[in-house]
Structure 1
Amino acid sequence: MTIQIFVDQQAPEAPYEQVRAQISAQARGGVLPAGTKLPTVRGLAEQLGLAPNTVAKAYRALESDGVIETRGRHGSYVAAAGD
């Protein structure tokens, strides 16, 4: 599954916040069902033309919010939490 995220460099929101908000909305809206494996930080950063630290910051925020869970070297997945 390819995740659809678009970063608007002209938007007032920081790129990491745009990534966080879009993944969160897709997870809570069912577009990304629980258990969906997310791209690696480096992979998504490359896909979006962002620095890996920007994507990592978004993933950390999503994990803190309970939207995703990271399983060490196995990757990050959409958590089974409700809204």
Structure 2
Amino acid sequence: MNTRVTIDVESATPPYDQIRSQIASLIAVGSLTPGMRLPTVRNLASDLGVAPGTVGRAYKELETAGLIESRRRNGTVVSAHGAARSGNPDASAEVSAAVVHLIQTARRAGMDNDTLLRLVEAHSASTSH
């Protein structure tokens, strides 16, 4: 997996939760497939500039949710069971990345979830066919 996970240091969302939600989204859209190996905790932490414990917590929550599993010799991989139930496999990775970017931008602007959802709903309603 090349690192498609980013950390927004200005976000109110803790870094571990940003990592967790982005990896879960990548699994949901099929960008991360069953059996695909994830970076080691240390490597991903180094790439993102966060403490290994931050990545470890994200991985632990993903494992608890059944989305990934740790294997002694194979490292951490996407779970077949988790990938099958994680979301819409036809969704576009590009759309998922845009959503992550939208959320990060909204957080930097100080926008809360309710306001962001109302904004998305208003734009969606005005552009629906």
Using the size of structure 1 for normalisation, the TM-score is 0.95
State the match for 1:23 in structure 2. 23
Is 2:3 the counterpart of 1:6? Answer: no
Alignment of 1:14-53 (within 5 A): 14-53=14-53
Match of 1:46, SS state, is helix
More helix by share: 2
TM superposition shift of 1:3: 2.9
Which moves more between the two structures, 32-41 or 71-80? 71-80
Distance in 1 between residues matched to 2:63 and 2:12, nearest whole Å: 23
Deviations 1:27-58 (A, max 9, x none): 11101111110000000000000000000000
Mind listing any 5+ residue stretches in structure 1 that lack a counterpart? none
- The RMSD of aligned alpha carbons is 0.9
State the match for 2:60 in structure 1. 60
- Retained in 2: the 8 A contact 1:3–1:38? no
Match of 2:80, SS state, is coil
Match of 1:76, SS state, is strand
Match of 1:55, SS state, is helix
The number of equivalent residue pairs is 83
Match of 1:54, SS state, is helix
Distance in 2 between residues matched to 1:36 and 1:71, nearest whole Å: 12
After TM superposition, the runs of 4+ consecutive aligned structure 1 residues lying more than 2 A away are none
Pair member with larger Rg: 2
Using the size of structure 2 for normalisation, the TM-score is 0.62
How many percent identity over aligned positions?
43
